[in-house]
Amino acid sequence: MSDLATGFRYLLKGQGWVARHGKQYGFGLLPGLLTLVLYLAALVALALYGTDLTTWATPFADDWSSPWQGLFRGFLTVLLFALALLLSVLTFTAMTLLIGQPFYENLSEKVDRDVSPDGTAPESGLPLIRELWISARDSLRVLVRALCWAVLLFALGFVPFVGQTVVPVIGFMVTGFFLTEELTGVALQRRKVELRERLALLRSRRLLVWGFGTPLALAFVVPFVAVFLMPGAVAGATLMARDLLGEETVDQETPEEATA
């Protein structure tokens, strides 16, 4: 089986794992729902007051004649909202993981115990506040990288034909890569794997990462879908992290185990 198909299989297996463990799935939904409410509130506020914000930010256009003033400020308002949406997509996973750190750590540990031959799971041994700090720091570093790609792809979007065909595909692949980094980071951080090493691991298995992350990026375009897929994505990323590190994994998908 190719790495591309294997990555997608991990995504499906993660969803299957949480489907068999309803309690873990229920707890795993809470951080995503909270993040969604916060993001929707921010976007609604921006939609309501975006025009006022652009008017305040462009006093030099107060004396422009019609229709240029309205067109200019209208364009800036639309651009501001589009950038906010892009930022929401790029940061949704990181923010959900940060808010739900204890929930997802617990879920990831249970997946590790479930598929480990000896029934154990690696533990970081760090206090929660330290884990939150490391997670926030690494997420910020990943966000900077993702934003650099976003700016580049936004510029390439103006290239005729390429901007309407190739660039969107590359955009979803890039987004999928960074989504996978954030999600596998839950399991890899417990194993004390630093960000630079995590990125090197993912680059060494790009097809595996794209098979997992690109379909997820497509699904995450719809915020409500992202909320419901998030617990399974963390579970699947834990399974993939074990693969990246060469750890032995026991298949736990038999009917007997599913009802346990």
What is the 3-class SS of 168-210, one letter each residue? HHHHHHHHHHHHHHHHHHHHHHHCCCCHHHHHHHHHHCHHHHH
Q: Is the pLDDT confidence value at 43 over 70? A: yes
pLDDT digits over 194-214, tens only? 999 999 999 999 999 999 999
What pLDDT does residue 254 have? 45
Percent of the chain with pLDDT strictly greater than 90? 30
What pLDDT does residue 110 have? 93
Structure tokens belonging to residue 34: 């909270």
pLDDT digits over 80-130, tens only? 887 787 777 777 878 888 888 888 888 999 999 999 998 888 887 778 788
* Number of Cβ within a 10 Å radius of residue 147: 14
What pLDDT does residue 95 have? 85
What pLDDT does residue 181 have? 92
Q: Is the pLDDT confidence value at 141 over 70? A: yes
Separation of alpha carbons 135 and 102, rounded Å: 12
In angstroms, how far is CA 234 from the centroid of its own chain?
10
Separation of alpha carbons 220 and 109, rounded Å: 24
What pLDDT does residue 258 have? 40
What's the whole-number mean pLDDT along residues 8-12? 95
- End-to-end alpha-carbon separation of the chain, Å? 29
What pLDDT does residue 180 have? 93
Q: Which among 62-71, 89-98, 196-205, 219-228 has the top mean pLDDT?
A: 196-205
pLDDT digits over 156-175, tens only? 877 888 777 888 888 889 98
What pLDDT does residue 100 have? 84
Q: Is the pLDDT confidence value at 148 over 80? A: yes
What's the whole-number mean pLDDT along residues 44-56? 87
What pLDDT does residue 260 have? 37
Separation of alpha carbons 57 and 73, rounded Å: 10
Closest CA to 185 of 104, 112, 103: 104
What pLDDT does residue 127 have? 82
Q: Are 134 and 189 in contact, with CB atoms under 8 Å apart?
A: yes
Q: pLDDT grade, residue 257 (50/70/90)?
A: very low
